[in-house]
Structure 1
């Protein structure tokens, strides 16, 4: 070829678009910002000797103003943590598109001490940013070094291996501590320091208000009523309702008492002031909380009646005791309950016990407060931080600002509730004289704890932490809280939080309540086209889970069997879950059970095989309208009365109870359309 012709040919070739085979290979990014490198990474930590891990998170915080204040608040709180999340959102940025079908457990995983390895699952590929995200299949240990590993086995859309550093990219990170804070609080109770700092000198129970003992022979009680302070203005009328009571067989007395607890949460925001993890939080003072007590009829055994503690659910109260203890008194077991922190409406709430024409009215010890300043006090307003509203003279909301502590969520309310229950345990050990004359007393030891829903959530924390308890039954619990909310009827609460966030995170789409998160469950396929704005919501939820671990039952579950605290007695704990639970969905229960390796201790109530299959089965332990109530309570009683030795199958060879659960995959799906699909809940069906 002549030189001139060759030159023309080369010039012409240079104008032809580059083919895929000649394009630059896709690489794993290894930049210097969180968005441009594999995360999590210890590159974004600093040394801090005041933390148990020796480090503290140090994520970059942008210039902050009114438009992005929530983002700044979130990062500021994260930068107080002493490590990364225990099931972190792993992100891997690439320079271009990849073939997601080539991502296998051998190419994207987390490694740790002792040969530990777990794949990254529940994958989301964002084609707009070329970022692959997912979570470790296994729950990680606290205060432990791990590495995210990405290999060149992943291929791009042309079938070529991606460039992963020199064949393997690795990002080392250290997990946070979550459970030591509550353990320190428990130790502070046992040493007496918590009481001293709170100014508590009387650790016992009292049944006296205004010189009158609020203890009533059960045979004389015709009705129990509650008057709830639902308005911040104490001059407005209370909202009265009857307390359902099915605990009548074998009952001698209904009693209403109170005791003092160390209060750790602030009253303005319902958060516990942060301290480094080598330190113990100090109470801000003392708070008097109420309790209900059902005492058996007859003569108490030597040493007093055995006593069990019941833990009520979210938005519920100590009055649920009267639905939760139908069988206990006849078995000779006294049962008591206190409210979850921040629950039971305002402090002006009352209880009214009717004895025919006579009525006794006394404080209900409501713990709620109008935290959002809208003039109302709801059933759980006080358990955690809320938005802050401005209302006009007519009560209309004219402005709504997010809380600085929004992503703290229910963490501190769960910690405070656990402290309250542990204080109740020690109150019982101090001695409880119901009538004040020594004739009706309780044993100075708590036989067992059992809790329903929220009561099983903080109940997991109680059973994992308290060395004074050994027997427990935990009914329809799960975690983390954000996952419970997004998959359940509490999704509207998350929507409110996303709406008021700065910037707002509501992204519309098909999802219920105005947002679509595009988050797969364990058995779902990889998401390859997340809805616009979904990955920002995913990051927000990840940060909330990260911050809430100190009040997350999933973080505490491993302490019950896998890694019990030093000096703790052997724990005897079983769990109950319901097929298709719409309030604490099955995948959140499965998350807890897998973290604790307790699937063999789970009894599974097959609501889909009962006459009430069309109902949400969440309340089956308490709700007389649901088929499994008597069976569930029978299993609870058999277990706690035997000291954790007897686990019955409530329907024997029948199909309604699996003891233990047969198909653990049923805990990997909701059994109803996920709310992010936009389909409202109707009923539950189908095996996973």
Structure 2
């Protein structure tokens, strides 16, 4: 066993280089292996030697990565942000540097992660071997628990000596749980100057015969587009309104990082958010219609409620939703509703902002951090959006839409369903807030960095991030100018052959670590299986199947997973990601019927019975390990 003092000095040396440049350094020659023929582990990462004591943290520790020579400003800023956390990632990028080459598969088979106080243990996968530095990289085969101390062990064998170290994971769920606790106690509303949560109804219209157009404030221009009001949902009532919600977001779209042992940051103020709702036809039951909150996807907006409400309306469930942070275009956006010969214009409370100062507001501008905080990506926008839905859930009860003195919306047993981005923050919401009775999470995945890396649609966004960090390492446009050489879960070891690939890998691992507290897989273990149903689309090219696997496996929610086999339909050549809202597809009616049955009765139904298009529950989770893209695509 290597002396502790040696481990500390080596961990600091390798930690500095591995975490700032992506390259592990060779240890000094004086620390060479004790005997011929065996590779000696010279350093292990993660290690609590790269933390300092901090009684203000739940773990009693705070990360202390060296910042000297941290590279480009964006990389230095990332290290400084990581140094505010109270532990390491829940899916850390393990790094073991050896004194000489090893067989990657054999060495990886002797690496394990075990709870320091408890019997739980796991091996590693997603193995990468860097021959330039004799460093083996890997990830735990299973997601680790937050706020827990583990032993990282390298078992000795014919080709290598043994080594071990300890590390502590971050309190990753604490931040969002703090926001929910503030809402429950009322302190968030008081601090934001909100007297009491509640909805403000600004317009009600019969769905039948009503048309809606949306004027989008895009900064320098205004664009008017029609909004689809499905005829299948007619007969009920369309409601437009707003509510006040506490906001914790700073102007750079971040939430202050406070010590995890405290109550979390105070709200910076109130924000008025939009509401679009569809009420079923007829007279509501005593206490009001049961309510399902719908969470829309990336680039979309709250009018998707109209598409999502069809089956719910038919089953007597009111559907309501709001805008995600940074969505709905600019604050000057509005809805024009024509009904019964009368035209009414109402504000749509767009949440987009002109972040880059070019005079234009795009459909998602304002949903990611800016400036030095770009490595946080959408972490805090997702946490704020989850908190916004928590506030909405606490605001709907007792709402009297038609001013007849009786409530039209019930606040009891509120349910949730979300599509894509809505499934992502919906997973966070469901794990963090017991006020959500049941949820259907449609085509969700995580972490965000992996969604960006694996999706042909989002991969160009990752190119821009890596370019800002000075890490582009390819001239091949089919690979979006970078090659990372990362295996998928369950695949064999990859040996690095592309210069700069290790640095790209390390940057992705660090940004994922920083964003873990606003990522769905972090909260999946908090979801009781009976409260959730996951809908996954086979071959999803937007939120790739391996990212869905990550979230579902983290919570061991396979018994609550419904797989839509788009590959077995006439639509097999197309990306199935948006099937739930594409009302021209049979899958939309099938998927929404499954949603309504689960939200309304807690019943999990198979939409096509004995048919082969839906697997309920999924028959083999391993089917989600590959990308499964219908069309050939360049492998990331």
TM-score (normalised: structure 1): 0.84
- Cα distance in 1 for partners of 2:635, 2:516 equals 30
1:71-123 CA deviation, whole Å, 9 max, x = no partner?
A: 11010000001000001000011122222242353x11111132222111111
Number of corresponding residues: 600
- Aligned counterpart for 1:597 among listed residues 556, 569, 584: 556
Spell out the pairing of 1:652-663 with structure 2 (5 A cutoff). Answer: 652-663=609-620
Aligned to 1:102: 106
Spell out the pairing of 1:232-243 with structure 2 (5 A cutoff). Answer: 236-243=220-227
Query: Does the residue aligned with 1:342 lie in a helix, a strand or coil?
Result: coil
Query: Does the residue aligned with 2:307 lie in a helix, a strand or coil?
Result: helix
Does the Cα contact within 8 Å between 2:95 and 2:135 map onto a contact in 1? yes
| Inter-CA distance 626–62: structure 2 relative to 1 (3 Å threshold) | farther
- Aligned counterpart for 2:143 among listed residues 132, 139, 142: 139
Aligned to 2:436: 469
Query: Does the residue aligned with 2:596 lie in a helix, a strand or coil?
Result: helix
Structure 2 spans left out of the alignment, 5+ residues: 1-33
Question: Which deviates further from its counterpart, 487-496 or 506-515?
Answer: 506-515
- Cα distance in 2 for partners of 1:442, 1:463 equals 21
| Inter-CA distance 512–104: structure 2 relative to 1 (3 Å threshold) | closer
Query: Does the residue aligned with 2:527 lie in a helix, a strand or coil?
Result: helix
Aligned to 2:199: 205
| Inter-CA distance 508–356: structure 2 relative to 1 (3 Å threshold) | farther
Q: Does residue 380 in structure 1 map to residue 337 in structure 2? A: no
| Inter-CA distance 592–228: structure 2 relative to 1 (3 Å threshold) | same
Query: Does the residue aligned with 1:516 lie in a helix, a strand or coil?
Result: coil
- Cα distance in 2 for partners of 1:621, 1:76 equals 41
Does the Cα contact within 8 Å between 2:229 and 2:306 map onto a contact in 1? yes
- Aligned counterpart for 1:456 among listed residues 419, 423, 426: 423
Query: Does the residue aligned with 2:385 lie in a helix, a strand or coil?
Result: helix
- Aligned counterpart for 1:647 among listed residues 600, 604, 611: 604
Aligned to 1:191: 185
Spell out the pairing of 1:209-608 with structure 2 (5 A cutoff). Answer: 214-221=203-210, 223-231=211-219, 236-246=220-230, 248-249=232-233, 251-267=235-251, 269-279=252-262, 280-355=264-339, 358-386=342-370, 403-429=371-397, 431-438=398-405, 441-488=408-455, 489-501=457-469, 503-509=470-476, 512-561=479-528, 571-608=530-567
Q: Does residue 614 in structure 1 map to residue 573 in structure 2? A: yes
- Cα distance in 1 for partners of 2:600, 2:114 equals 43
Query: Does the residue aligned with 2:128 lie in a helix, a strand or coil?
Result: strand
Question: Which deviates further from its counterpart, 348-357 or 571-580?
Answer: 348-357
Does the Cα contact within 8 Å between 1:229 and 1:348 map onto a contact in 2? yes
Spell out the pairing of 1:1-80 with structure 2 (5 A cutoff). Answer: 24-30=36-42, 37-63=43-69, 68-80=72-84
- Cα distance in 2 for partners of 1:339, 1:668 equals 32
- Cα distance in 2 for partners of 1:83, 1:94 equals 25
Aligned to 1:568: none
Does the Cα contact within 8 Å between 2:74 and 2:468 map onto a contact in 1? no
Does the Cα contact within 8 Å between 1:510 and 1:516 map onto a contact in 2? no
Aligned to 2:8: none
Query: Does the residue aligned with 1:206 lie in a helix, a strand or coil?
Result: strand
- Cα distance in 2 for partners of 1:257, 1:83 equals 42
Does the Cα contact within 8 Å between 2:206 and 2:339 map onto a contact in 1? no
Shift of 1:363: 0.8
Shift of 1:625: 3.9
Query: Does the residue aligned with 2:563 lie in a helix, a strand or coil?
Result: strand
Aligned to 1:86: 90
Shift of 1:679: 5.6
Structure 1 spans left out of the alignment, 5+ residues: 1-21, 31-36, 156-160, 209-213, 387-402, 563-570, 681-688
Does the Cα contact within 8 Å between 1:252 and 1:298 map onto a contact in 2? yes
Query: Does the residue aligned with 1:617 lie in a helix, a strand or coil?
Result: coil
Query: Does the residue aligned with 1:518 lie in a helix, a strand or coil?
Result: coil
Does the Cα contact within 8 Å between 1:425 and 1:446 map onto a contact in 2? no
Question: Which deviates further from its counterpart, 658-667 or 249-258?
Answer: 249-258
Does the Cα contact within 8 Å between 1:97 and 1:130 map onto a contact in 2? yes
Does the Cα contact within 8 Å between 2:443 and 2:537 map onto a contact in 1? yes
- Aligned counterpart for 1:177 among listed residues 156, 171, 175: 171
- Cα distance in 2 for partners of 1:361, 1:406 equals 36
| Inter-CA distance 355–510: structure 2 relative to 1 (3 Å threshold) | closer
- Cα distance in 2 for partners of 1:516, 1:152 equals 33
- Cα distance in 1 for partners of 2:395, 2:322 equals 12
Q: Does residue 150 in structure 1 map to residue 154 in structure 2? A: yes
Shift of 1:440: 5.9
Shift of 1:357: 5.1
Aligned to 1:567: none
Does the Cα contact within 8 Å between 2:96 and 2:135 map onto a contact in 1? yes
Query: Does the residue aligned with 2:123 lie in a helix, a strand or coil?
Result: strand
1:453-498 CA deviation, whole Å, 9 max, x = no partner?
A: 1111111111111121221111111100100110001111111111
Shift of 1:330: 2.2
Query: Does the residue aligned with 1:678 lie in a helix, a strand or coil?
Result: coil
| Inter-CA distance 23–331: structure 2 relative to 1 (3 Å threshold) | closer
Question: Which deviates further from its counterpart, 312-321 or 620-629?
Answer: 620-629
Question: Which deviates further from its counterpart, 508-517 or 257-266?
Answer: 508-517
Aligned to 2:5: none
- Cα distance in 2 for partners of 1:461, 1:272 equals 16
Question: Which deviates further from its counterpart, 465-474 or 84-93?
Answer: 465-474
| Inter-CA distance 181–669: structure 2 relative to 1 (3 Å threshold) | same
Does the Cα contact within 8 Å between 1:28 and 1:92 map onto a contact in 2? no
1:12-71 CA deviation, whole Å, 9 max, x = no partner?
A: xxxxxxxxxx995453343xxxxxx2100000000001111000000001246xx61111
Calculate the aligned-residue CA RMSD, in Å.
2.0
Does the Cα contact within 8 Å between 1:260 and 1:288 map onto a contact in 2? yes
| Inter-CA distance 444–229: structure 2 relative to 1 (3 Å threshold) | same
- Cα distance in 2 for partners of 1:315, 1:219 equals 27
- Cα distance in 2 for partners of 1:316, 1:510 equals 28
Shift of 1:433: 1.2
Higher Cα radius of gyration: 1
Aligned to 2:7: none
